[in-house]
Amino acid sequence: MQTVAFVSYSHRDQHWVKYVLLPRLAAWRIEVLLDVTAFQPGEHLVTAIGGALQRADRVLFVVTENFASSEWTRRELQETISADPAALRQKAIPIVLDEAAVPTELRSLIWCRITPDHAGSEFEWSKLCKALNGPWPEATPGVEVRNQPSPNTPPGEPEPLTTGQNTIQVLVDEIAAVARMRLLLTFDSKGAFPGAPLCLFPSLPGSSESQIPRS
């Protein structure tokens, strides 16, 4: 059965969540509940959070200084702990990026420690994968993950790229990205918007700004 995980985080850390955590969870075939994608328009915010927490098998707390100062992550933490106070279901899983920011409720649990330089972090990721009942891939997310065949690939789809092909594709993608950026910076023809700020790092799926004041 596929594990369902809710991610509790500060939106100030959304770049890390989107580009580091979510690719891992996707590689492990974890169903992710994220506020910007799981909540529906018209829902009461507190009800939406409560429903997502109840549905989730695991709640991943991305612990940073921003997390510690967020009212909404605190609310999610308290509701999760109250539902499993003795940690018998192992519902709360701390992903600790800043040990100084770990709240009291999570200090007695086993952490997944991810250091800023990621030294030794692969072992921590493997433990998290196991806790989520995910299949630990031989390759880490990123270029290598694209080499792994997907069991859900429909017949007739192209074969996954080899490592060498992937390396070439990554270079091509990077060159194309630079070209697009230069085009945006120099484009000043009629109908353009000279001087408009460029969004180099798009926000999480769903909206450029979340309604939840998680900061």
pLDDT tens-digit map of 111-149: 999 987 777 789 999 999 999 999 987 655 543 433 333
* Residues 6 or more apart in contact with residue 73 via CB below 8 angstroms: 8, 9, 10, 61, 67, 214
Q: What is the pLDDT of residue 35?
A: 81
Residues of the chain with CATH 3.40.50.10140: 4-141
What letters, b where the CB count within 10 A reaches 16 and e where it falls short, cover 101-127? ebbebbeeeebbbbeeeeeebeebbee
Q: What is the pLDDT of residue 45?
A: 79
Q: Which amino acid is at 124?
A: E
- pLDDT exceeds 50 at position 24: yes
Q: What is the pLDDT of residue 74?
A: 94
Exposed / middle / buried, residue 132 (Cβ in 10 Å: 0-12, 13-18, 19+): buried
Quote the tokens at residue 37: 């994608």
Q: Are 98 and 64 in contact (CB under 8 A)?
A: yes
**Digit-coded pLDDT (tens) for 49-81:** 888 999 999 999 999 999 999 999 999 999 999
- pLDDT exceeds 70 at position 200: no
Q: CA torsion sign, 115 to 64 to 87 to 108?
A: positive
Band the pLDDT of 209: cuts 50, 70, 90: very low
Mention the CATH class of domain 4-141: alpha beta
Tally the C-alpha atoms within 13 A of residue 102's C-alpha that lie toward its C-beta: 20
Q: Are 48 and 39 in contact (CB under 8 A)?
A: yes
Q: Which amino acid is at 74?
A: R
Written as one string, the DSSP assignment of 116-157 is: TT-TTHHHHHHHHHHHTT----SS-TTTTGGGSPPTTPPTTP
